[in-house]
Amino acid sequence: MRREWDRYEGTPHRDLLRRLRERFLQRALQRQAGPGGATLEVGPGPGRFTPLLVPRADPLVLLDASRGMLDSARDRGLGRDSRRSIHYVVGDARWLPLQSGAFATVVALGNVLGFGEEGAGRILSNLGDAVGKGGYLVLETTSPVLRTLVASSRDSHELERWLLQPPTPQRVEEVLAAGFAPPPPARAKASHFRLLDIGVVRSSLENTGLHIMEEEVVAPLLGGDPERIAELSSRSKVGIEPLLLWEERLGSDARVIREGGHLLTLAYRPPDGP
């Protein structure tokens, strides 16, 4: 549980990856009119992103295959000062033990799909089916190829000055024109870890009646360069804030999304949909 918590904590690199996911989730929640209603978080682990859901969700259902993870989330005091109801459910998203269409918001960040083994497709369908009319799904998946943009060849001082300027369309085109770094050597992954192509994700969600509203690849520029991020963070008076804007702008470009990576997806079921 400590190792899982530390995945997004303790270094500028981990902070960048966590905050990009938090900001995407916050934008999704802001689309809701009024209280968020019934909310389901699948695979919350020790409750990393759960605090963002607590103020809006009523009830909030946390479903995880690990009782220990749920106990850790409960011990963090989530909602202790809230009147909202939180339910901790030990379960497997491959056989989602909850009613279809019951939730206004469904969230699955992290490796929920990846560790679904051959049942990843079933999990994807189950998550989509759990979203009620007018509801939203916030989902993270990992594609087979993790491509990153070629970082600027400028030295660190120049790169810092470059990133402090806003990501205007012209400057974004300059980055994209430099292309992508060659795919890294295939890393040894557990044989049961499932990678999903973006086309599979899109078609599965659309088959459940959801519409894709927003997509973003996590940190396609410097996300794979922890040392550079740490150096920029320590030198810059504004920390990684400018880098967040650059990563979000580049990560939402259709050309970057096609190349693959850790993909965040926001999908919506229309009120008059199936």
Number of domains making up the chain: 1
Q: What is the pLDDT of residue 204?
A: 94
Q: In this structure, are residues 217 and 261 in contact, taking their beta carbons and an 8 Å threshold?
A: yes
Query: Is 172 among the domain residues?
Result: no
Please indicate, yes or no, whether the overall pTM of this predicted structure exceeds 0.85.
yes
Query: Is 163 among the domain residues?
Result: no
Query: Is 180 among the domain residues?
Result: no
User: What pLDDT, in 10s, does the model give residues 192-212?
Assistant: 678 889 999 999 999 999 999
β strands within the chain, DSSP E: 37-42, 57-64, 86-90, 103-108, 131-142, 211-217, 262-268
- Tokens of residue 26, six digits: 């916050």
Query: Is 111 among the domain residues?
Result: yes
What's the CATH code of the domain at 62?
A: 3.40.50.150
Query: Is 75 among the domain residues?
Result: yes
Query: Is 250 among the domain residues?
Result: no
Query: Is 273 among the domain residues?
Result: no
Amino acid in the structure at residue 84? R
- For 120, the enclosing helix (H) or strand (E) is helix 120-130
Q: In this structure, are residues 242 and 236 in contact, taking their beta carbons and an 8 Å threshold?
A: yes
Nearest to 239, CA basis, from 132, 123, 160, 169: 160
> Which residues constitute the domain of residue 135?
2-142+185-219+257-268
Query: Is 226 among the domain residues?
Result: no
Residue-wise pLDDT tens for the chain (274 aa)? 777 777 778 899 999 999 999 999 999 999 886 667 899 999 999 999 999 999 889 899 999 999 999 998 888 766 565 667 899 999 999 998 888 999 999 999 988 888 877 788 899 999 999 999 999 999 999 998 888 998 766 677 778 888 888 999 999 998 999 899 887 776 555 556 788 899 999 999 999 999 999 999 999 999 888 888 888 888 777 678 889 999 999 999 999 999 999 999 999 999 986 6
User: What pLDDT, in 10s, does the model give residues 164-190?
Assistant: 889 999 999 989 998 998 877 765 555
